[in-house]
Amino acid sequence: MSQNMSTTAPADPAISNTANAIKINFPMPSYSCLMLGCVHVRIFAVYRRIMSVSTSVQPYRVPKTVALVGLMGTGKTAVGKRLAQRLGLPFVDADAAIEAAAGNVSIEEIFERHGESFFRAREREVIKRLLNDPICVLATGGGAFLDEDTRALIRERAISVWLKADIELMMSRVARRNNRPLLKGKDPRTVFEAQIAERYPIYAAADIAVESVDGPPDKTLERVLSALASHLGVAAGASS
C-alpha cells in the first residue's frame, strides 16, 4: 500500500471503519483443515483493526514495515494503532491475523486445544506472510520475536521496535483482561519475572528500544516517533 494514499478519517481517530479496511490474503490452512491435515485453503480476512490514514502531516516516511515487539502489557497494540495513524500506514495486529486464519478461533482457544508449540508454528507462518505484504505497522505477540526464523525475517523486512515497561505497569495492564493464555492459573509476577529473564536478551536484538510509560498511549507514541526518526537519520518533522 502506498504511504501517500488518502482517505477520510473515521470519527474515532484510533480505529478505522470497515469501509477503510484492506484485504490481506495469505494461503494458510483453515483452522479445521489444520486439525485434519487437509490441503491449504486461501483465507480472505478483512481487518477491523486497521488504522485509517491520518489527515495530519506525516512526520516522516519509513522504508519498511515497523514491527513492534515486547512482552504483553507493553502497549504494542494501543501504541501501534496511533503510530500507524501518524505515519499514514495501515495497522495490523498479528494475533488478530492468526485468529482470522484460524477461522476466527481465539488465541486462547488455540492454546487450550493444541498447546503453545502449535500456536507458535501458526504464528510464524502468518507473520512471514504479513511481512511480504505492503508496508504497515505490525504489532506482534510477545513470543513472536523469540523464534529465530521470525526474528531473521523481521530483521530483513522490517524495523523492529522493542517496547519495554516496568513490571508493575505491565502487571496492572494485563490485569484488565483475562484472556492471556500464558497467565492462566499462574502468578503474574512469577510469569513476568521469568519472561524478563528469558526474553529481554533476545528483544535486545531489536533495532530500537523504547520505554513504554504509564499514562495515555500518546506519551509512548511520541517516544517511538522520536526514536524512529533518530534511527532513520531524519528530523522528527520531516515528511520526505
- What domains does the chain contain, in order, with CATH numbers? 18-232 (3.40.50.300)
- CA–CA separation, 60 vs 229, rounded Å? 8
25 Cα distance to chain centroid: 17
pLDDT of residue 63: 95
pLDDT of residue 2: 40
The answer to whether residues 54 and 9 touch, using CB atoms and an 8 Å cutoff, is yes
Is the model's pLDDT at 217 over the cut of 80? yes
State the pTM of this model: 0.74
Residue 156's nearest CA partner among 76, 224, 231, 63 is 63
pLDDT of residue 182: 63
Q: Output 15 or 96, whichever has higher pLDDT.
A: 96
> Among the residues of 90-216, which ranges form H helices?
94-101, 107-130, 148-157, 167-174, 188-203
pLDDT of residue 114: 86
Q: Lowest-pLDDT range, 117-121, 170-174, 178-182, 205-209?
A: 178-182
Q: What percentage of residues in the chain have a pLDDT greater than 90?
A: 54
Is the model's pLDDT at 181 over the cut of 60? yes
pLDDT of residue 236: 64
pLDDT of residue 90: 97
